[in-house]
Amino acid sequence: MAVDGRSVAVQQFLKKTELIKQGAEARVYRGIFLGKPTILKERFPKLYRHPLLDEKLTHRRTVQEVRALLRCRKAGISAPAVYFVDYTCHCIFLEDIVGSVTVRDYITSIQLSPQKSQEERLDHLAKKMGLVLAKMHEEDVIHGDLTTSNMLLKVGGDTEEADLFLIDFGLSYISALPEDKGVDMYVLEKAFLSTHPNTEALFEKLLKAYTASYRKSHSVINKLNEVRLRGRKRSMVG
Amino acid sequence: MEGKIDGALINPFMIVHPFEVLVAANKAVHLHRIGKMKTRRMYSEIIYNLSPTNNISDAFKRFGTSDSDTAVLIVLVHPTDETRHMTEVMAKVDGQQIPVEDVSKMVDTAQIKKLYRTTPQEDSCLLDAVVCRMAVKDVI
C-alpha cells in the first residue's frame, strides 16, 4: 500500500482524473478505470471526529452504499454499477453515466424553454420519478438523501425515453417501516420545493404516480402527512 | 494438471467479457498488496474474485479449468515492460490462440444467469450485473 494510505489502484486512477465535486462527506472524481469511464467516490478521513468513530462510520456508509446499489439494480432500478470497492481508503469505483444530466438541471432547463411543451414534459418527468421511487420503496430501500441532484436523466441512444438513475446511496438503509419511507418522501419534498420554487402542483403529480404504483403507499402517505406537521425528527419526549 | 503454468487458468465459458477478468485481477493485486487475500496465491485469488459467492472451492470448480475443457483463458500479472514470461507460457500451449475480445462469444449465458442469480430486469447489461456482484460480494 502506498505511503499516504491510498492503494495503488486509487493512485493510478487519480493521476488522470478531475475532481468534479467535493462535499462534506466525500470527494468525487471522474476518470477511466480499466478502460471504462468511471466515477470515483472517496470518503476522506474526517479529522474532527475521533479516529475510531470516523473509521466505523465511514466504513459503514461505504458498505451501505454498495449494498443499496446492488439491491436497486437487482430490482431493475437504474443505478450506477459498482466496479471496485477499496475498503482501506473507502473508495468506490462506479460506472459513469455518460451523457446524463441531473434532474435538477433538467427541470431548470425545461422551465427556461418555451411555455408550450413545458407542462407536458414536466408531468412526464414527475410521473417517472414517482414510479422509480415506488419501486425503490417496494424493495424496502430507503435512500436517505433524495434530491433532484441525486437523480440523473440519461437519454437513451435508440429510444426516445430517458432513463432515470438514482445515485448517492451513502445515507441509505433497508427498512420496511412506513415512517422511514414517509421521511424519505418528506426529505424529497423539502428539497424539491426549495430547489424548484412554485412546483407544488408538480410534486403532487409525483406523489400521485407514487401512490398509484405502490401497493403499500397508503400508510406511507399518512406518515408523510404526519411528518409534515412535526418535521422529520421524531419527538423523543416521554 | 501439473502446475507447470504460472498463471490463472480460467474457464472461458463463464466469462461474459474480458473487463470482468480485469476487475478480478485488479482486486487480486490490490488485496495482495495490502495482505488481505482470501486465498494463498494471487492467481487463485483472481479465480476466487470471479465468483459471486465466498466459497473458495466452489469458485475453483466453476471458474477454474478441468481436464475435459476444450478452451482455456490464461491470465498473467506482470510489469508492463516484462513480457518474457508470457512468451514462455504461450509456447507451452498447444492449441489455437484467439483474441481476448472473442471470449465473449463463448459465454454460456444461461449458466451465468443461474450462477450469479441475476434478475430478468438485469438482462439488458449482464456484464454490469456480474461485475457488481463480484465487487460487492465481501459485504453481502
What digits encode the pLDDT tens for the residues A63-118? 999 999 999 999 999 999 999 999 999 999 999 999 999 999 999 999 888 777 88
Catalytic residues of A: 145
CB environment A82-97: b (16+ within 10 A), e (fewer):
bbbbbbbbbbbbbbbb
By C-alpha distance, the chain A residue nearest B123 is A76
Can you tell me which residue has the cell 451523457? A99
Spatial CA neighbour of A149 closest among A204, A107, A114: A107
How far is it, in rounded angstroms, from Cα A205 to Cα A182? 16
Instruction: Give chain A's mean pLDDT.
Output: 89
Q: What is the pLDDT of residue B93?
A: 84
DSSP-based three-state secondary structure for B68: coil
**Chain B residues near any Cβ of chain A (below 8 Å):** 19, 22-23, 26-27, 29-30, 33-34, 118-119, 121-122, 125, 128-129, 131-133, 135-136, 139-140
- DSSP label at residue B120: G
Contact A70, A82 (CB under 8 A): yes
Say whether pLDDT at A126 is over 50: yes
How far is it, in rounded angstroms, from Cα A81 to Cα A141? 17
Among candidates B30, B34, B122 on the partner chain, residue whose Cβ is nearest the Cβ of A74: B122
What digits encode the pLDDT tens for the residues B84-114? 888 888 888 888 999 999 999 999 999 999 9
Say whether pLDDT at A1 is over 50: no
Which H, E and C letters describe chain A, residue by residue?
CCCCCCCHHHHHHHHCCEEEEECCCCEEEEEEECCEEEEEEECCCCCCCCHHHHHHHHHHHHHHHHHHHHHHHHCCCCCCCEEEEECCCCEEEEECCCCEEEHHHHHHHHHHCCHHHHHHHHHHHHHHHHHHHHHHHHCCEECCCCCHHHEEEEECCCCCCEEEEECCCCCCEECCCHHHHHHHHHHHHHHHHHHCCCCHHHHHHHHHHHHHHCCCHHHHHHHHHHHHHHCCCCCCCC
Phi, psi of A165 (to 5 degrees): -100, 140
Q: What percent of chain B clears pLDDT 90, i.e. is strictly above it?
A: 74
By C-alpha distance, the chain B residue nearest A88 is B34
Q: Is the ipTM of this complex over 0.90?
A: yes
Mean pLDDT on A7-29:
81
Phi, psi of B52 (to 5 degrees): -80, -15
Label residue A3 by pLDDT band (50, 70, 90). Answer: very low
How far is it, in rounded angstroms, from Cα A9 to Cα B50? 18
Q: Which residues of A touch B133 (CB under 8 A)?
A: 70
By C-alpha distance, the chain B residue nearest A92 is B135
CB environment A119-129: b (16+ within 10 A), e (fewer):
eeebeebbbbb
What digits encode the pLDDT tens for the residues A113-124? 877 788 888 999
How far is it, in rounded angstroms, from Cα B99 to Cα A149? 42
Spatial CA neighbour of B53 closest among B132, B126, B134, B111: B134
Q: What is the pLDDT of residue A236?
A: 64
Mean pLDDT on A136-155:
94
pTM of the model: 0.91
Say whether pLDDT at A238 is over 60: no
* Alpha-carbon torsion (A24, A82, B32, A9), positive or negative: negative
Say whether pLDDT at A158 is over 60: no
Q: What percent of chain A clears pLDDT 90, i.e. is strictly above it?
A: 76
Say whether pLDDT at B2 is over 70: no
How far is it, in rounded angstroms, from Cα A195 to Cα B73? 52
Q: Which residues of B touch A84 (CB under 8 A)?
A: 23, 26-27, 30, 135
Q: Which residue in B17, B29, B30 has the most chain A C-beta atoms within 10 A of its own C-beta, making it the best mutation to test that interface?
A: B30
How far is it, in rounded angstroms, from Cα A68 to Cα B138? 14
Asked if B19 and A84 come within 8 Å (Cβ–Cβ), the reply is no
Asked if A34 and B19 come within 8 Å (Cβ–Cβ), the reply is yes
Phi, psi of A173 (to 5 degrees): -160, 170
Mean pLDDT on B49-56:
95
What digits encode the pLDDT tens for the residues B108-139? 999 999 999 999 999 889 999 999 999 999 98
Distance from CA of A53 to the nearest CA of B (A): 20
By C-alpha distance, the chain B residue nearest A80 is B128
Asked if A85 and B135 come within 8 Å (Cβ–Cβ), the reply is yes
Mean pLDDT on A6-22:
75
Q: What is the pLDDT of residue B45?
A: 95
Asked if A9 and B125 come within 8 Å (Cβ–Cβ), the reply is no
Q: What is the pLDDT of residue B85?
A: 83
Among candidates A7, A76, A95 on the partner chain, residue whose Cβ is nearest the Cβ of B34: A7
Q: Which residue in A70, A77, A158 has the most chain B C-beta atoms within 10 A of its own C-beta, making it the best mutation to test that interface?
A: A70
